[in-house]
Amino acid sequence: MNRRSLLTAALVAGAMISAGPALADKTNPDKLRVALLPDENASTLIQNAQPLKKYLEQTLKKEIEIIVTTDYSSMIEAMRFGRIEVAYFGPFSYVLAKSRAPEIEPFAVGVEKGKPDYQSILIATANGPVKELKDIKGRPFAFGDQASTSSHLAPRAHLAKIGLIGDTDYKVVHLGKHDAVARAVANGQIPAGALSEPIFRSLVETNRIDPTKVRQLALSDNIPNYPMTVQGYLKPEVKDAIKKAFLELKDPEILKLFRIDGLAPATDKNYDILRDMAKILNLDIAKL
């Protein structure tokens, strides 16, 4: 083989090596990246998700990586750009993700106590100035992440229905996570706020929040529970296997991670109520 042939062979080999990752089949990856909603401490969530990781690896015969992004927006973007294959979204963050990545598919919804929905709880500091909802006027009110359903969209819509408009009638404060809202209100740092009622209940049951330090102001309308979603570009047999694995999940220890008793089939239509809430607040989902 002459020098030109050797050089050509070397260039072809180098191109094949450099193209290796790009040639990987994203429709049937060897590793599935499963994202959990970043509504609590990331290291705690990942540690608690180890039984889920083991179950999925045994069931799907693939490597599983559990991912917790820094916030809701980064999780939406990770799904949008194919950096995760499966995601457990909050209801509104799913609606936002679907508006940016129409190919993602919801396939299951959490069921707790026989119900595929839950509520937001609006709370106030027990001995603070807010005794009822009307007292929120002129004061700060704590929400979680801007893309959160039960810690932003639903309670903000609830307040709007009684004539309290954010940043007009009260000061909107975003604290990022549900537990941060509960702590800030319990400690009297902010007089009132809202978070997921199941998360609030969990915080009380695990002694992370003293229930005597807060008062319940109201519960929101029912919210469709968190959806489990999958990338639409995966091969049908891969998607079917993922869906089957989650829908047949019965282990109480794993289900406890999602604060549910089980999973039931779901479609995008289940989440139209959140699009209606956004309209009440004059939110343009495409621009959020």
What is the value of pTM for the model shown?
0.75
pLDDT value of residue 57: 97
The C-alpha angle with vertex 277 and arms to 276 and 282, in degrees rounded to 5, equals: 95
CA distance 198 to 121: 9
**What gap in Å lies between CA 268 and CA 120, rounded to an integer?**
21
pLDDT at position 146: 87
CATH 3.40.190.10 for domain 25-115+225-287, yes or no, is: yes
pLDDT tens digits for 116-128?
Answer: 999 999 999 999 9
Closest CA to 28 of 231, 258, 206: 231
The secondary structure of residue 89, as a DSSP letter, is: -
Sequence ranges of the chain with CATH classification 3.40.190.10: 25-115+225-287, 120-221
Condensed to tens digits (0 to 9), the pLDDT of residues 134-157 reads 999 999 999 999 888 899 999 999
120-221 CATH? 3.40.190.10
